Amino acid sequence: MEQQQLLSLRDELKNYLKPQEWGIQIQGAPQCVILMAQCKLLVSKPSAMALQLTGSGLKYDSLFANINHCTQLGQDTFRSTAVRMERVGHLAHEMSKPGGIIETMLKYIDPKQSSIRDKRFHSYVMTGLNTIDESVTMIRQVGREFTEWGTVTANLLRALEEKAASNTTRQIETKNTLEAQSLEKQRLEKELELEKKELEDLEKRFQKAIQTYEQIVNSLPATIVSAGAMVAAAAAVGLAPEVLAVGTAYGSMNYAWIWFRQNTRKSTIRTLDNETSSLRDRLEQLSGETKSINEVARIVKGTLADLNQLQVQIKLFMEFLENIQTMMAIIKDGKDRVFMKNLTLLDREELKRDTDLKKEILSDALLMKNRFLIASKAAALYNDVSRGFVIPGVRWVAELCIDSRDDSVEDKVKEIEMWRVKLCNGAKQLIAKRVGELDTELQVLNRESIRSFRTVAPELFEKVMGEVREMSDGDLK
């Protein structure tokens, strides 16, 4: 093969074979599993279960139901992804392996062959086309499910943030109302105290005036009129005669009025006390809600910088899927240049004589094989992590039953931490091992593809890529 084409194929591998990036992206999967467990733990608390949570895009009207919906959707997404990625890995391997669909199709492309071989050729063409379409469909379905999950987490995060902000505002308003009522109560209590003193003073003065009046009347001769005694008694206690007269006549009425005013203020104060108590209860409730909401945010954000970070992890994994999708899209765009469905015997005879066309077909086929080879490596890396850590973690989360008792919750916290080490650290170690292996494989993948091509289609290979003879055997090993 021409050195330039060999380098081109090697660069093709380098552009898409990114094991280091894959490792970072795939690492988010077991981390998401732990996050789902923590969310499930959080909503098991009575304070969180009672919280209402509504918002745009939310399916339910409670925090408990929406968190459970989010975690359930995540579990379902990972389960279906496991099935589809296994299928993608299988299809990609069947297309790219030595003696696989692409190479076998080329082996049967010769126009001068038996009818049964010709049928095999067309069969492999159709198999190749169907495999490409199925691979593209599978990856798209995985992408759509992760996109849906990402949207749900975004809606949930936004609703939590809005509720936290709303509760903070309501707390401030309640505190302000409490302060205003406290000041009003203090004012009324002061007025009540002044009126109490006024009433007590008035009672004392009336009593003293009446006593003085009685003493004067008893000591005076009968000829002195009682009016004079009244004036003398009033002067003795510092009251105007008419006040004493009115007080004597209407004392009970005046006393009743002051008593009524006092009781009215007492009733107002009792009402304020009740309202204040109610407001304090509401403030405590708001504080409890805010605490629970903030705890949701703290646990979610603390693990993956919140549900927002969960979206980052989902997007990271989406980048991994998009990398495969890109390769599949390129493969699909070029599938008719490799798997030519309506290729007749006459077409193949002309192809055999057309060196340039044969060169293009072989080059396209080799590129397609390399892309499927990379897709199979990416899928295999994910499938190893999925089988070993993600799916076992999803099963554990699904079976995670949490009692709201404090000691039970504390036990589950320890259990989650144990699983974090098991899943995340285990996946990290496996990914590091596989990534190291893929880095090494990069050096040989392209040459293996070329050597395999030379084996299955020697005549086509030698005629089109005659310069291969000039390359040493060591260059192809």
Is residue 117 located within the same domain as residue 23? Answer: yes
Which of 271, 288, 305 terminates a domain? The answer is 288
Higher pLDDT, 367 or 348: 367
DSSP state at residue 108: T
For residue 220, the enclosing domain spans: 174-288
Higher pLDDT, 475 or 380: 380
Q: Is the pLDDT of residue 80 over 50?
A: yes
Lowest mean pLDDT among 23-27, 48-52, 384-388, 398-402: 48-52
Q: Is the pLDDT of residue 244 over 50?
A: no
How far lies 344's CA from each of 114, 334, 362, 427, in Å? 14, 19, 18, 50
How far lies 240's CA from each of 218, 237, 253, in Å? 21, 9, 18
Is residue 161 located within the same domain as residue 48? Answer: yes
Is residue 93 located within the same domain as residue 72? Answer: yes
Lowest mean pLDDT among 141-150, 185-194, 330-339, 467-476: 467-476
Is residue 262 located within the same domain as residue 314? Answer: no
Q: What is the mean pLDDT of the chain?
A: 71
**Vertex 323 angle, CA 130 and 141, to 5°:** 50
Residues sharing a CB contact under 8 Å with residue 396, sequence separation 6 or more, in sequence order:
33, 37, 419
Residues sharing a CB contact under 8 Å with residue 340, sequence separation 6 or more, in sequence order:
125, 347
Is residue 180 located within the same domain as residue 166? Answer: no
Q: Distance (Å, rounded) from C-alpha 109 to C-alpha 118? A: 8
Residue 120, amino acid: R
Is residue 140 located within the same domain as residue 12? Answer: yes
Ordered alpha helix ranges (H), 43-114: 46-49, 63-96, 101-107
Average pLDDT over residues 375-385: 89
Q: Distance (Å, rounded) from C-alpha 407 to C-alpha 409? A: 5
User: Count of domains in the chain?
Assistant: 2
- Over residues 422-456, the pLDDT tens digits come to 999 999 999 988 888 876 776 666 666 666 666 66
Is residue 276 located within the same domain as residue 297? Answer: no
Is residue 142 located within the same domain as residue 178? Answer: no
Q: Is the pLDDT of residue 274 over 90?
A: no
Average pLDDT over residues 197-204: 63
Is residue 199 located within the same domain as residue 144? Answer: no
Which of 288, 315, 343 terminates a domain? The answer is 288
- Over residues 145-198, the pLDDT tens digits come to 988 988 888 888 888 878 777 666 666 766 676 677 676 667 766 766 766 666
pLDDT band at 408 (very low <50, low <70, confident <90, very high): confident
Neighbour-count burial of 263, counting CB atoms closer than 10 A to its CB (0-12 exposed, 13-18 middle, 19+ buried): exposed
Is residue 351 located within the same domain as residue 272? Answer: no
Is residue 407 located within the same domain as residue 425? Answer: yes
Higher pLDDT, 129 or 259: 129
Lowest mean pLDDT among 97-106, 199-208, 306-315, 464-473: 464-473
Is residue 281 located within the same domain as residue 298? Answer: no
